[in-house]
A = this chain, B = another copy of it.
Amino acid sequence: MSERRDKIPEPTIARLPSYFRCLVELQEADQEIVSSEELASLAGVKASQFRKDLSHFGEFGIQGLGYPVADLLDRIAAIMQLDQDHDVVLVGAGNLGSALANFPGFSRWGFRIVRIYDQAPDKIGRRLHGVTIRDVADLPCPLGLKLGILAVPPSGARAVAKLLIDSGVEALLNFTGSNLGHPDSVVVRNVDMTHELAILAYHLTGPLSLDEERPAR
């Protein structure tokens, strides 16, 4: 028996993409059966953790044999809604936004950036990965897209998030480094690259510097 979708622990959900990626790789290598130990090791978790994560979604695998790769892949894809393509709106066509628009990993999993908005006059009208950059002031309401990526400077983050949420976006990937102050009905994943470096810095045994070349600041 599987649990209600909204009762699944968030850390379990956050591990599903790793399982999915490992299963894709196993399938590409023509492996038909995988044990929980092998898959867990590939995904970098304990086998008991993997089995516990799966148990939230029902019965999987064959006792004493393992998991048929194709079947488990299909079921995890269905659970994650990765058995269908998802259209995505991107706001912010600067350096990071441009990199995201061209990021090959997205399309490989069925994520297609189909709308790109910015506010800079020199960007509006240009094309990025085949999509015309439009003026964020022209963002329609409703937009007709549920998934959004925010790659604007921190100062504009809240206002743009509000625009997207008002236009019907339900889930936001937030690269701005700002707290969006969003309503509970909207799901937000924050990717703060500076925070990630800071977490690494905590673990360093001590700093080292090179003196020869200084980057522009």
Of A12-20, A58-66, A157-165, the one contacting chain B is A12-20
A113 to chain B: which residues have CB within 8 Å? 215
B105 touches A95 (CB 8 A): no
B114 touches A147 (CB 8 A): no
- Give the number of times this chain occurs in the complex, counting copies: 2
What is the minimal beta-carbon distance from A182 to any residue of chain B, in angstroms? 10
Q: How many residues of A contact B (CB 8 A)?
A: 82
Q: Known pairs A80-B201, A95-B102, A98-B99. 4 more at Cβ < 8 A?
A: A14-B195, A87-B209, A114-B214, A131-B215
Most central of A108, A173, A192, A201 by chain B CB within 10 Å: A201
A98 touches B100 (CB 8 A): no
By beta carbon, the residue of chain B nearest A151 is B99
User: A28 interface residue, CB < 8 Å from B?
Assistant: no
A114 to chain B: which residues have CB within 8 Å? 209-210, 213-215
A26 to chain B: which residues have CB within 8 Å? none
A217 to chain B: which residues have CB within 8 Å? 107, 112
